[in-house]
Structure 1
């Protein structure tokens, strides 16, 4: 089999979802040949460098260039997504900040980083290239997100699943996951006849508003099962469903219970997802890390 295609500027080496217990410590160290993007999903981190101290919490991420000495103290139970990557183009390396950066991530950015992690996990689990462009897609997708974090562009609201056009009514449903939204409420909110709203939704999404709302709630349920430690009952409450209703709907959609899906996902927690055979990760966790 021929060698997989990789991006000519950035190469993803490794990723992981890591759950840290309170007071876990990662001792000070520096990466010689690669950079790191650490994304905080939940919790709080005290990040130290040679000459400064940074506090990281939810909605923060940290870009750590190669050669930067750093260490972590996890002040409470913390969930992270971690990416380690090589910059292979000297011109891009010179253009990136030479010092540690603490950045805020947007909701859309986090969604894409989660998708990269899931694609990487699938690639790693297969032990073979999913298709000739699989690793290239991971590299270029991550590069785009990284550049977006460093040079943010205006966000676009109302992004429809699978579409690239703003649709404000869809955003309204996405922003109100925790309760039932009736067709009449949409009509009152946007000053359209209910029948016309159904037509608009079918044109934009291929489904009715009620079905669309159900789908985005199910997607959020899966995301919380994958990237949080919320219980299934807590997740059901967050999307405004009873636990039995969520269970029936999830079973019908996914062919397994929400609890079984959570157990399947947890197999990847604290596991190396290596995308470059020669890469070796060193954890350097001093104490307190969850198994």
Structure 2
């Protein structure tokens, strides 16, 4: 599976999901506070090691818990934490639930359950502290700010995983990968639900449900979005006029202009001029800075 398509699926998932944080805190563990048993939660857990050392036993693996280790433990997953005698382990954690259709995308996407952080250590700890503070408030905007902080934490997690560490993709991901590649390679053509469903040997009606369950939008909505994203990139190229861009994304120029304005709020020509002016202003600013040195 290509890295680009894997990240596309993840981004669409996290853009559309709802997040509910049930609890969050900072806890100092010692041998007296730990019980020699596995814990199983009905919610997902973020664990971040702020200080100390210990071990996490999960999925038949023994993972060292050291400063900067960031873990996501999915609901229903047995796990156990241990520390050495007379040692302590300071964890920042939160328990959360997320919904996205009826599919368990975390497991489908095979997200690694831990990452190592070093340079971003202080920033992650500060995000957890912000989360603790927000949960203690009862303001109108608290839930929005909590979700924003959680999305920041998730973004850092995703920025630090490698697709090469995940093993073989699931059958669902392989199918979606084929479809996304087909879409990108045939944007200039007439793409139908039937043509997409044929790529993975599914009935069109079932394919629509399957696709939306993973990407969060219908196949045609996604195709049009990719056309607009591609068009924006093409409009930045000096030698590609609006008519050529419309042709490259498989649309009549009138329909393309109308859809592009609905998507961006600007006509293709206006977008092109504004982008060119922005690039020129940035280049001028860099020249001024160089001249000052």
| TM-score normalised by structure 2 residue count | 0.42
Q: Name whichever structure is richer in strand by fraction.
A: 1
Larger radius of gyration: 2
Q: Name whichever structure is richer in helix by fraction.
A: 2
| TM-score normalised by structure 1 residue count | 0.43
